[in-house]
Amino acid sequence: MSRNILLVTNAQSQSQASLVSDVCQLLAANGLSCIFEPGELARLQSQGAEIESQVEYGSQKLEAVVVLGGDGSILRAAELTFGKNVPILGINTGHVGFMAEAELSGLDAAISALSQKNYEVRDRVALEVSVMVLGVEVFKSWALNEVTVEKSARERVLEVVMEVDGRPLAAFGCDGVLVSTPTGSTAYAFSAGGPVVWPNVDALLLVPLSAHALFARPLVLGTNTEIAVEVLARSVSAGVMWCDGRRSFDLSPGSRVEVYKSDTSIPMIVLSDAPFTDRLVRKFALPVVGWRGPEAPN
């Protein structure tokens, strides 16, 4: 039986396409079959990739997804396999690549571990989101990182009211409101002033974006919390809702966006038990000179 691996990549140059060719050969050498999302083979081959495989992803059963790229590519991989319980292994070829499990320098070891099934799978919390208009659901989607309700006109302020577990919390004018998972806490939520949340913490973040209000601090909520953001009927500005910055829906005044923990999680491949603290220090290049902890070298 073929051990199918979906290879997702952001390759945009001849050198990156050549890397994809090398990875396909490496997968084959480890007994793994490389397949691609529809249209990717032709695009990569036009960039000079020499790929023997002619298989595009359809109804094949997948053992895993290997991502060559950054966090955006991992979000695309999650979108392709959402609800299919296929674990994702991220190999960082981008800049920060916070969600990636391995760097390019560790590619051989990562593929070997994948082949030998020498890894753990840990589920990441996802969000489910519904847009309601006059009590009728008009849009439904999901997100791994965050759901944002944002103003659609730069020169306007979006008037919203936030709701937590069926109770109103605060109303204000703002650029938007963001609901984030722990995975997304190092992404848009971090840039908006939210806290970093360790992946093993069961929490959701509610982060106002440039709110004109005295009480507009980021909030940490339980994963069983139901959150709603309503675009007030009096708002002179329409809004737009984004899921992971990939799927959007226009919001008219009076729209209601309901967000809660999804029953579907995102399985991610973990190759080591390295502490999340170490990843945080490495990815953000945090200064730790002077540390004299129990494992510090003499």
What does pTM read for this prediction?
Answer: 0.92
> What SS3 state is found at 67?
strand
Among 71, 123, 202, 278, which one carries the catalytic annotation? 71
76 backbone dihedrals φ, ψ, rounded to 5°: -65, -40
One pLDDT digit (tens) per residue for the chain, 298 residues: 689 999 999 888 888 888 888 999 999 999 999 999 888 878 888 887 777 766 778 778 999 999 999 999 999 999 999 999 999 999 999 778 899 999 999 999 999 999 999 999 999 999 999 999 999 999 999 999 999 999 988 888 999 999 999 999 999 999 999 999 999 999 999 999 999 999 999 999 999 999 998 889 999 999 999 999 999 998 878 899 999 999 999 999 999 999 999 999 999 999 999 899 999 999 999 999 999 888 655 5
CA distances from 36 to 30, 55, 64, 170, 244 (A): 18, 7, 12, 46, 22
Q: Where are the domains of the chain?
A: 4-124+265-284, 127-261
- Give the separation between CA 176 and CA 173, rounded to whole angstroms: 8
Based on the number of CB atoms within 10 Å of its own CB, is 66 exposed (0-12), middle (13-18) or buried (19 or more)? buried
In the residue annotation, 71 being an active-site residue is answered as yes
Rounded (5°) CA angle 103-105-109: 90
> What SS3 state is found at 84?
coil
- Give the separation between CA 154 and CA 126, rounded to whole angstroms: 29
Q: Are 35 and 63 in contact (CB under 8 A)?
A: no
* Count of CA atoms in the C-beta half-sphere (13 A) of 99: 31
Tokens representing residue 38 in the block = 């529809």
CATH number, span 4-124+265-284: 3.40.50.10330
How many residues would you count in the chain? 298
Tokens representing residue 199 in the block = 């992946």
Secondary-structure class of domain 127-261 per CATH: mainly beta
Residue 48 Ramachandran class (φ > 0 left, ψ -120 to 50 alpha, else beta): left
